[in-house]
Structure 1
Amino acid sequence: MVIHIVAGAIPSEIGNLENLEMFNIGLNYFTGPIPFEIFNISTIQRIAMPKNNFSGHLPPNIGFFVPNLEILFLWGNQLSGTITSSISNASQLANLQLASNSFSGLIPKEICNLRLLQVLDLQDNNLTIEPSNPEFNFFSSLSNLRYLRLLGLSNNPLNDILPSSIENFSTSLQELYIDNCNIRGSIPRGIGNLRNLMNLSLENNELAGPIPTTVGRMHMLQGLFLDGNRLEGPIPSYLCQLKSLFIIDISANKLSGDIPTCMDNLTSLRYLYLAGNKLSSTVPLNLWSLTNLLVVSLSSNYLSGSLPFEIGNVKVLMKLDLSSNLLSGQIPTTIGGLKDLVNLSMSNNQLEGSIPESFGGLVSLEFLDLSKNNLSGEIPKSLEALSYLKYLNVSFNILQGKIPVGGPFVHFSAASFMSNDGLCGAPRLQVSPCKEGVSQPKKVVAAHILKYVLPTIGVTMLVIALVLVWTRCRKRNAKLPVESNSLPLATWRRISQQELFQATQGFSEGNLLGKGSFGSVYQGTLLDGMIVAIKVFNLEVEGALKSFDAECGVLRNIRHRNLVKIITTCSNMEFKAFVLEYMPNGNLEKWLYSQGSYLSILQRLNIMKDVASALEYLHYGYSTPIIHCDLKPNNILLDEDMVAHVADFGIAKLLGDGDSMVQTMTLATIGYMAPGDVFLLQLEVECLSFYSCIHK
């Protein structure tokens, strides 16, 4: 018997259901105490009451009368009191999650008698453990749990040390979270025995001493979080043996010495955080050979020397923070080629020379801080093209000339330019007025005229854009070099089905963004506050699994500013979902055909350019041409700045040597198509035609 309650109170009579096997009321608004009677039902196997407003204590005999209980989810409530040792009598318990409550007192070591336990999550409470004792310490007792896969103790005042017995923890352990727990002492060398560990989080504790070299044995490790401690000594070169490492955060410690030159061995690395240490010498040149890095944070160290031109090789880099070091020399012009860069900080160094004109190519840039250096020359006018730039700081340099006035410069204040005596511009910027030449009034008049004739120009540009796309696609040939703009799919974090359930409030209708042939898309908020779109496949629909595999095959190999970015996937035998970048302005169909939505002629032109750019990348920018096969307005999504992103690759096709144009066209939309659909399909067909002809 299975019961799903979605609203209302929980009566104590629930205990009369003698054959109840599952009780699931997660993500609701139930209040009051948990009825103790439910823990008297001998047939119960799963009790799931997460994310409600339950209060009160657990029953003192919680484990005595539930011999078949396998899963107990009570996380995300307001429960208090202690966790009684009687819970150890539920001998079949495999998954115990009591996180995010107000439990206090000692964690009973009797929990470690639950020999079948695979998940123990007690994070975000006020729990502690017995003082260190080799015979009775809770940590030592954990060695009894031979099937344990996840141990979560974060954000509890454990006030203890990590014992050497950690080497006896289960070899099945994959995730270990003991951050923000007031853990003292050093990291035991025996931690290297946990060879199947994928995530290790010991951040924000009081750990001291070196990083043990035995960490290099943990070859499955993907996430290493040791930031916010007092670790000393060098970064061990043994870390370079962790070929699966995806994110490493050892910032805010007291580490010294050089950055290991072997870092280029970490070919899976995407996020590198070394800020807030005492690292010296130069940044190793081969670090920039890790071309798939997304974030590099090296700020607040003692790094010196100049930056190499090879820094421009990291084409997908999104954040680069080199601030508060001793870097000198000129800024490499190759940085201007990092088109995905969103955040760039080089402040508080000894950089000199001019700001490269190539910075105008940083089309995704939102944050730029070059303050407190020795930069000279003018502020490049090319920066006016950075339409996403929200923050600029070039203060405390020796810049001169006129401050640009177009684009994002309209919004910047005097704080962005202070202490540059040679700059001139508008009075609001608190700099000297510029000496205007005779040509300036003509520019003003021209701009004034352009404002009124812009709609007419926009129409003309639209026609020209269509002709250019048509012409360019036909002039491409198979001998052109393939653009290296791909990024293999890799997840910086593991997101469980449970977390997605929580993020979408139980996949509720209120979070539903839309439905398609193979599933639904929901808006969700992850535990770190990130808003995402979650595409859940309905595996009962024929073709859904094939669509999931097809979309995986495409998305794991492509990356472009005008394609929807995949953040991660969640996949098991019964559940498959994509976690995607959230697009707050919905799809193009809404803007084209809904009342109250309006697109200007320039917006329409920009959207067409965005879609054409995405198609050009799909057809010619990757070694195997990718054909979308279902391009229509509701598969064109718009972000907060109305930039278009192509989505939904469920029936996409990778065009091999034997594929022809006729085969590809049969997958496109059949029957009536709205005008927008006709244009988008025609755009894809036109860009394919020449490629197909040369392969017939």
Structure 2
Amino acid sequence: METVVRQHVYQKPKLNMRILLAKSNTNTKSTYQRSRRSGNSSPRRGAAGLLRIGWAWSAAGDLAMCAGGGRRMKNLAVGCQRSSNTVIGGRSTNQFTGAIPQSLGHLGLLEILALDRNNFVSRSSTLELSFLTSLTSCRKLRALALDYNRLNGFLPVSIGNLSTSLKKLWLGGNGIMGTFPREIGNLSSLFVLSLPGNNLTGSIPTTIAHLQKLQALDLSDNQIRGPIPTEFCHLPNFDRLFLRRNQFSGPMPACLGNVSSLRYMYLGGNKLSSSIPESLWNLKDLLEFDVSSNSLSGDLPYGLGSLRVALRIDLSVNQFSGNISPTIGVLQNLVYLSLAHNTLNGNIPETFRSLISLVTLDLSHNNLSGVIPKSLEALSNLIYFNISFNELSGEIPSGGSFKNFSSQSFASNEALCGLTQFGVPQCHAVYQSRTAKRIVIISVLSAISFTVLVMGVLFVLIRRRKTRKVPTEKYLQPLVHRRITYHEIFEATNGFVESNLIGSESFGSVYKGVMSDGMVVAIKVFKLHLEKALRSFEIECEVLRNIRHRNLTKVITSCSNLDFRALVMEYMRNGSLEDLLYSHDHYLGIKQRLDIMIDVAYNIIYFVPDYMLDVEYGLGGLVSTSSDVYSYGIMLMETFTRTKPADEIFAGGMTLRLWVKESLPNEITKVVDMDLIRQGEELLTRDVQCLTAIMELALECTKESAEER
């Protein structure tokens, strides 16, 4: 028999051969014919009961056996050598073809048969892999590797009759068809069962529970459907579960959280629904967790922080919502984290700075807002970073690993700014200064009487209100001396339940409460864990002790302990201006809105700077009434357009101020609240003139230069 060998410096030697196992009682049990070769040793032979053509040879041809040949052979390997610790080992380059001979069944002492990664086919007329039936005679068989050939047939029922000593079975990448045979449950000694990359259908049979020694199961890339079997939960040594890219559906079994031996769980690319069971966070030794590309929903689990040794977590392409749990920051071994393509919102947690091993971080295609934490610059191992298609704002960090990122990492975040390499506008000095000082202009500071002198109609209405007597005693009295206890406040708010929460601000939260005498009150509880909250409490007490005004809410009493501060105020039942503007249950006409804004202007005129310095602003640096004027101007625009400054229509450089400015003087009806137009079908000329004057005033108040306001 002729053998052709060609050898190159950069190639493995290729051996075209036909292996013939002849009748023999010698230990070699193999003969082969070959032509001359030079410089390389032949395939290994001569060892007792062993024929191995491994990675050092690129062999081709077919495998033929005479009946009864090689009866004492124990190991036959013409594929790749495998590590006992892996499901799939190295890659050989052999190209044996033809059918796997059924006469292999005569090798009664055979323990290892490795024919993987060749081009063997099945030539059975029934499409059944009948050679497997012949192998049932090999009662000492411990490992069978037939993966990555071209078998393209059905697994016979007789597969359940293979050796009870069989520990490892590799049949992946063969195009095997049909259902998952329930008879595999008879192979009670199996450690590894690998069938990925086939065309298996149906569901996993309950007989899988009989494989009590099973450590690794790989059924990836098939068409298996149905729920994930709860029988997995009863496998005491289960270490690896690979079910990727099938059609499994329904919820994840909660009992998987009891399989403490699990290290790898890959369930991505299925049709799983519901939420991730809380019990899964009991898997303290889980290294890799992938449930990507399913239909899982609910808030992003806080329990992720329990996976302390995790290396890889992929929850992408699901329907998770809510904030990103800050507990993820404790996962210091984490190398890969993907939460992309969900509906997450809120900020990127500052705790991410502790993910010191992170190489890949993908948070793209969510609804995240806020700034990118500058502390992420400390992640020195970070190579891939993607936060594109979110709603993030502020300056992009430029130090550390961020030096290597491109515009693709930050695409479609309209409010980001930074270096040109990131594909975003440069940050303006004013914006940077404001960001650095974290100045939030919320409250009114001092007199802006000139704002109400701009237009005649406002002046007349203001004069009319000035003639009215203000019954200050009716509306506001100094703080009473009797203070209530924390227990009374706790009872009044039902333990500060969320349903009683009216709103939150920088240094406190306001709750609705019912006192023991039935009085309904509003209780502002200060957040003393914040550095400036205590100072805010002291300033508000001082202000409210010394001023009187009909537009100020009456303060009833206060509660002051070492670790608790609260003000108890009169409860205003009619809600806020925002409630009136954006509710469908109320209508505010031009006159009503104008009255409200005049009251706001009166409040500004009344207050003196010594009492009305916002704590955050006052500690930030210079104080100016110009900031107040700017806020008033924005408020005027929002009140009459019923459009928030952060509305989604403002993108690509468009702002509320610019939108209003472009409508003047002839297109004011395009920006004002449509309810003002619908109420009378058509605005009267005097109404248009009034609205135009109001918007002109708003533009004067919001000029970029503070000195010009």
DSSP 3-state at the match of 1:293: coil
Residues 39 and 31 of structure 1: is their aligned pair in 2 closer, same or farther, counting only changes over 3 Å? farther
The answer to whether the 8 A contact 2:98-2:119 is kept is yes
Deviation of the 1:438 alpha carbon: 11
**AA in 2 matched with 1:351:** L
* Residue matched to 2:253: 260
* Residue matched to 1:73: 52
CA distance in 1, matches of 2:99, 2:133: 15
* Residue matched to 2:273: 280
Deviation of the 1:406 alpha carbon: 1.2
DSSP 3-state at the match of 2:304: helix
Q: Deviations over 1:65-89 (max 9, x none)?
A: x999511112332322221122741
CA distance in 1, matches of 2:186, 2:144: 16
Deviation of the 1:34 alpha carbon: 7.2
Within 5 A, what are the aligned runs for 1:390-401?
Answer: 390-401=383-394
- Determine if the alignment matches structure 1 residue 165 to structure 2 residue 144: no
Among 103, 116, 122, the residue aligned to 1:129: 122
* Residue matched to 2:202: 209
CA distance in 2, matches of 1:328, 1:131: 53
Deviation of the 1:38 alpha carbon: 12
Q: Deviations over 1:284-317 (max 9, x none)?
A: 1111110111100110000000122221011111
* Residue matched to 1:518: none
CA distance in 1, matches of 2:141, 2:21: 26
* Residue matched to 1:181: 174
- Determine if the alignment matches structure 1 residue 118 to structure 2 residue 111: yes
CA distance in 2, matches of 1:46, 1:302: 56
Q: Deviations over 1:107-140 (max 9, x none)?
A: 1101111111100111011111232659992122
CA distance in 2, matches of 1:84, 1:152: 18
What is the TM-score with the length of structure 1 in the denominator? 0.55
DSSP 3-state at the match of 1:216: helix
CA distance in 2, matches of 1:161, 1:40: 31
* Residue matched to 1:92: 72
Q: Deviations over 1:223-245 (max 9, x none)?
A: 10000000000001111111211
* Residue matched to 1:301: 294
Residues 294 and 431 of structure 1: is their aligned pair in 2 closer, same or farther, counting only changes over 3 Å? same
**AA in 2 matched with 1:85:** M
- Determine if the alignment matches structure 1 residue 342 to structure 2 residue 335: yes
The answer to whether the 8 A contact 2:368-2:391 is kept is yes
Among 244, 250, 256, the residue aligned to 1:251: 244
CA distance in 1, matches of 2:29, 2:98: 26
Within 5 A, what are the aligned runs for 1:491-640?
Answer: none
**AA in 2 matched with 1:98:** V
* Residue matched to 2:488: none
CA distance in 1, matches of 2:73, 2:232: 36
Residues 34 and 160 of structure 1: is their aligned pair in 2 closer, same or farther, counting only changes over 3 Å? closer
The answer to whether the 8 A contact 2:20-2:66 is kept is no
**AA in 1 matched with 2:52:** F
DSSP 3-state at the match of 1:272: strand
Among 390, 402, 406, the residue aligned to 2:399: 406
Deviation of the 1:32 alpha carbon: 5.7
CA distance in 1, matches of 2:66, 2:31: 19
Q: How many residue pairs align between the two structures?
A: 404
Residues 388 and 346 of structure 1: is their aligned pair in 2 closer, same or farther, counting only changes over 3 Å? same
* Residue matched to 2:626: none
**AA in 2 matched with 1:357:** E
The answer to whether the 8 A contact 1:68-1:92 is kept is no
Deviation of the 1:437 alpha carbon: 5.4
CA distance in 1, matches of 2:359, 2:263: 20
The answer to whether the 8 A contact 2:217-2:242 is kept is yes
Q: Deviations over 1:450-484 (max 9, x none)?
A: xxxxxxxxxxxxxxxxxxxxxxxxxxxxxxxxxxx
Deviation of the 1:382 alpha carbon: 1.2
What is the TM-score with the length of structure 2 in the denominator? 0.54
CA distance in 1, matches of 2:342, 2:54: 47
**AA in 1 matched with 2:50:** I
Further displaced range: 125-134 or 290-299: 125-134
* Residue matched to 1:487: none
- Determine if the alignment matches structure 1 residue 236 to structure 2 residue 229: yes
Residues 31 and 67 of structure 1: is their aligned pair in 2 closer, same or farther, counting only changes over 3 Å? closer
The answer to whether the 8 A contact 1:162-1:188 is kept is yes
* Residue matched to 1:670: none
- Determine if the alignment matches structure 1 residue 384 to structure 2 residue 377: yes
DSSP 3-state at the match of 1:230: coil
CA distance in 2, matches of 1:147, 1:403: 64
State the percentage of identical aligned residues: 43
Structure with higher Rg: it is 2
Among 283, 300, 313, the residue aligned to 2:306: 313
The answer to whether the 8 A contact 2:27-2:72 is kept is no
The answer to whether the 8 A contact 1:264-1:290 is kept is yes
**AA in 2 matched with 1:175:** K
The answer to whether the 8 A contact 1:243-1:266 is kept is yes
**AA in 2 matched with 1:92:** R
Residues 378 and 34 of structure 1: is their aligned pair in 2 closer, same or farther, counting only changes over 3 Å? same
CA distance in 2, matches of 1:366, 1:434: 28
The answer to whether the 8 A contact 1:71-1:96 is kept is yes
DSSP 3-state at the match of 1:415: helix
Deviation of the 1:339 alpha carbon: 0.2
Q: Deviations over 1:24-54 (max 9, x none)?
A: xxxx9766667999989975548899xxx98
Deviation of the 1:194 alpha carbon: 0.7
The answer to whether the 8 A contact 2:317-2:342 is kept is yes
Deviation of the 1:426 alpha carbon: 1.4
**AA in 2 matched with 1:430:** G
DSSP 3-state at the match of 1:434: coil
The answer to whether the 8 A contact 1:186-1:207 is kept is yes
Deviation of the 1:91 alpha carbon: 0.9
**AA in 2 matched with 1:368:** L
Deviation of the 1:355 alpha carbon: 0.4
Residues 48 and 211 of structure 1: is their aligned pair in 2 closer, same or farther, counting only changes over 3 Å? farther
The answer to whether the 8 A contact 1:48-1:74 is kept is no
Query: Any stretches of 5+ residues in structure 1 without a counterpart?
Result: 1-9, 11-27, 444-696
Q: Deviations over 1:316-345 (max 9, x none)?
A: 111100000000011000001100001100
CA distance in 1, matches of 2:24, 2:157: 41
DSSP 3-state at the match of 1:166: helix
CA distance in 2, matches of 1:186, 1:37: 35
* Residue matched to 2:63: 83
**AA in 2 matched with 1:75:** G
CA distance in 1, matches of 2:408, 2:425: 15
Residues 390 and 113 of structure 1: is their aligned pair in 2 closer, same or farther, counting only changes over 3 Å? same
The CA RMSD measured in Å over matched residues stands at 3.2
Q: Deviations over 1:469-528 (max 9, x none)?
A: xxxxxxxxxxxxxxxxxxxxxxxxxxxxxxxxxxxxxxxxxxxxxxxxxxxxxxxxxxxx
DSSP 3-state at the match of 2:177: coil
DSSP 3-state at the match of 1:329: strand
Among 221, 226, 238, the residue aligned to 2:219: 226
Within 5 A, what are the aligned runs for 1:186-197?
Answer: 186-197=179-190
Residues 106 and 400 of structure 1: is their aligned pair in 2 closer, same or farther, counting only changes over 3 Å? same
Residues 284 and 379 of structure 1: is their aligned pair in 2 closer, same or farther, counting only changes over 3 Å? same
The answer to whether the 8 A contact 1:293-1:316 is kept is yes
Deviation of the 1:434 alpha carbon: 1.1
The answer to whether the 8 A contact 1:47-1:73 is kept is no
Among 409, 419, 422, the residue aligned to 1:429: 422
DSSP 3-state at the match of 2:249: strand
Deviation of the 1:260 alpha carbon: 0.3
Residues 37 and 150 of structure 1: is their aligned pair in 2 closer, same or farther, counting only changes over 3 Å? closer
Q: Deviations over 1:401-456 (max 9, x none)?
A: 1111111111111111111111111122221221225998xx9xxxxxxxxxxxxx
**AA in 1 matched with 2:72:** Q
Within 5 A, what are the aligned runs for 1:644-663?
Answer: none
Q: Deviations over 1:622-667 (max 9, x none)?
A: xxxxxxxxxxxxxxxxxxxxxxxxxxxxxxxxxxxxxxxxxxxxxx
Residues 364 and 54 of structure 1: is their aligned pair in 2 closer, same or farther, counting only changes over 3 Å? farther
